Amino acid sequence: MAYVPASLSKPRPGAGQRLAARLTSRAVLAPIAAVIVFLLLWEALVWLNGWPDYVMASPSDLPPAYAQYWTLFLVMGWQTLWRTVVGLIVAVIFGVLVGMVMGFSRTMRDALYPLLVGFNAIPKATVVPIVALLFVGQHDFNTVLIAFMISFFPIAVSVSIGLSTLEPEYRDILRSLGASQTTIFWKIALPKTLPEFFGALKVAVTLAFIGTNLMEIVSPHGRGLGALFDSGKTNSDYPLMFAVLIALAFLGIVLYYIVVALEKIFAGWAERPQG
């Protein structure tokens, strides 16, 4: 009998089977297993050391904390989430524009790099009180501003590098046909930069969360998960503080995977099959 690869001779699975296969695949099971192992180790660490709550809460302390404050988690989680996302969107728009200017013009690149690096080197925690005083009472605006300021840098740098390292042949192919700079940007420069852009966006997502929470914790306007953390600290409710941290981590993971999904849609071509 002729050789038939096993993958070809099997009947094609139905939709239900495919979903089941996806949910039990390595890509889903491996991270879940890692989280479970992490929680077990954490629980064991606290238990073995006999630490009380006020030294370090254990995972088993968290469900009661969530149960007790669960409406607060929803309201404040939403406040943190939308302000982070708005900050991120502004960072994407601004970062892409700055990246384009720097990517297309050598002069602008030379001129702006030191300024950008210097700005990025300033710890944003020091900017928080300045911003809070400058726009006093504008809580939403302040929080979005810090989230934006902390997260636009990697986007600007990646877009500028992507555009400035475009091979000249790519440009020549279109220029020789009489294409305008705008056409070259939309047809070649932009799509070619997308993989770098999404790489930077993954970094920016987590940075934006840090920015939002910095403002929420430092500036006392009582909104967002940062404020909930702060109230946990004031009331010595240690399990609540840890519960906030885990909620933040969860939101971060969700946003990260949204970016990964967008990357698959818009820059999936850059992923090469392994093996």
Q: What residues make contact with other proteins under the rule CB under 8 A?
A: 167, 169-170, 172-179, 183, 187-188, 191-192, 194, 267, 269-270, 272
Closer residue to other proteins (CB): 42 or 170: 170
Report whether 80 contacts 213 (CB < 8 A).
yes
* Least distance CB 103 / other proteins (angstroms): 18
Q: How many CB atoms lie within 10 A of CB 155?
A: 27
Closer residue to other proteins (CB): 201 or 267: 267
* Least distance CB 178 / other proteins (angstroms): 5
* Least distance CB 275 / other proteins (angstroms): 14
* Least distance CB 97 / other proteins (angstroms): 22
Q: How far is CA 267 from the centre of its chain?
A: 17
Closer residue to other proteins (CB): 12 or 272: 272
Closer residue to other proteins (CB): 195 or 211: 195
* Least distance CB 141 / other proteins (angstroms): 38
Residue type at 169? E
Inter-helix orientation angle 70-104/106-121, to 10°: 150
Residue ranges in 186-237 assigned as alpha helix (H):
190-218, 224-234
Could you tell me which residues come within 8 angstroms of residue 254 by beta carbon, excluding any fewer than 6 positions away?
Answer: none
CA distance 178 to 173: 9
Q: How many CB atoms lie within 10 A of CB 136?
A: 10
Closer residue to other proteins (CB): 3 or 269: 269
**CA angle at 257 for the pair 256 and 262, rounded to the nearest 5°:** 100
Tell me which long-range contacts 182-187 makes (C-beta under 8 A, separation of at least 24): 185/100
Closer residue to other proteins (CB): 118 or 273: 273
Could you tell me which residues come within 8 angstroms of residue 166 by beta carbon, excluding any fewer than 6 positions away?
Answer: 188, 189, 192
Closer residue to other proteins (CB): 10 or 272: 272
Inter-helix orientation angle 190-218/224-234, to 10°: 30
